[in-house]
Amino acid sequence: MIELRTPAEIEEMRPAGRFVASVLEATSAAAAVGVNLLELDALAHEMIRKAGAESCYIDYHPSFGASPFGKVICTSVNDAVLHGLPHDYTLRDGDLLSLDFAASVNGWVADSAISLVVGTPREEDLRLIDTTRRALDAGIAAARTGNRIGDISRAIADVAKAEGYSINTDFGGHGVGRTMHGDPHIPNNGRPGRGLPLKPGLVIAIEPWFLETTDRIFTDPDGWTLRSADGSRGSHSEHTIAITDGDPIVLTQRS
């Protein structure tokens, strides 16, 4: 069911957005050569505890997950692009790391993701990350009253295709509110002018993710981590936004 939020409810969602942004800022700043993925998860876990927030991930068990997630942040490295389950892995020079985090504050959820290179970057990785960020910006710019879901999807796809990246539509953006995932689904490719009309009060997460040389993925033996079929690297960017009568509000904007 699609729910529209009142202006007062959108204001109530701001603390969740600020908290999610702060955790991604802290964990991305802590990500360095020699840091273990479990240390990043522990940092996020401690921030949740101190803020009195609730994890959206630790007990999360959708149909595509092998078991409850059990951690509080997704850490996807190199050929992993989504749902990376934190494990005993120490970051190395040149690793491409995607961090995806969602939490509930005062009963409202926000969801966001960021990709970065640890240590010395490859030019190909910087291009991939930049494309994903620009695709997110384009999707947000299209998230205006009077447009439709397909306009967001096409704006994202246009950026990716201009750089030669193919697009997987199995996973994409989604509604956000009292729970992490809700309607509508927002694929990263689509036809303009099609799909649900965008109205003030719709709160959604827009999340482009691209792989360097494929659009095919498979699930890691851990039952969660999604990896590229050909071993190429992936990048993921996401913000939770609220659609208004004017410009969209980016609830998870980082400083």
Domain contains 2:
no
Residue 235 scores a pLDDT above 90: yes
- CATH number of the CATH domain containing 169: 3.90.230.10
Instruction: Please provide the average confidence, as pLDDT, over all residues in the chain.
Output: 97
The dihedral built from the CA positions of residue 211, 248, 83 and 124, taken in this order, carries a sign that is positive
Structure tokens at 247: 């410009």
Please count the other Cβ atoms lying within 10 Å of the Cβ belonging to residue 59. 10
Within-domain flag for 255: no
Residue 174 is labelled as binding a ligand:
yes
Evaluate whether residue 20 is within a structural domain.
Answer: yes
238 is in an annotated binding site: yes
To the question of whether residue 46 is assigned a binding role by annotation, the answer is no
On whether residue 77 sits in a domain, the answer given is yes
Does 239 appear as a known binding residue?
Answer: no
Range 212-236 average pLDDT: 97
Total of domains in the chain: 1
Is 111 assigned a ligand-binding role in the annotation? yes
What's the domain range around 118?
A: 7-250
Which helix (H) or strand (E) element contains residue 188?
Answer: none
Separation of alpha carbons 129 and 151, rounded Å: 22
In a domain, 1, yes or no: no
Q: What is the pLDDT of residues 14-62, one digit of tens each?
A: 999 999 999 999 999 999 999 999 999 999 999 999 999 999 999 999 8
89, burial (CB in 10 Å: exposed 0-12, middle 13-18, buried 19+): middle
Q: Is 83 annotated as a binding residue?
A: yes
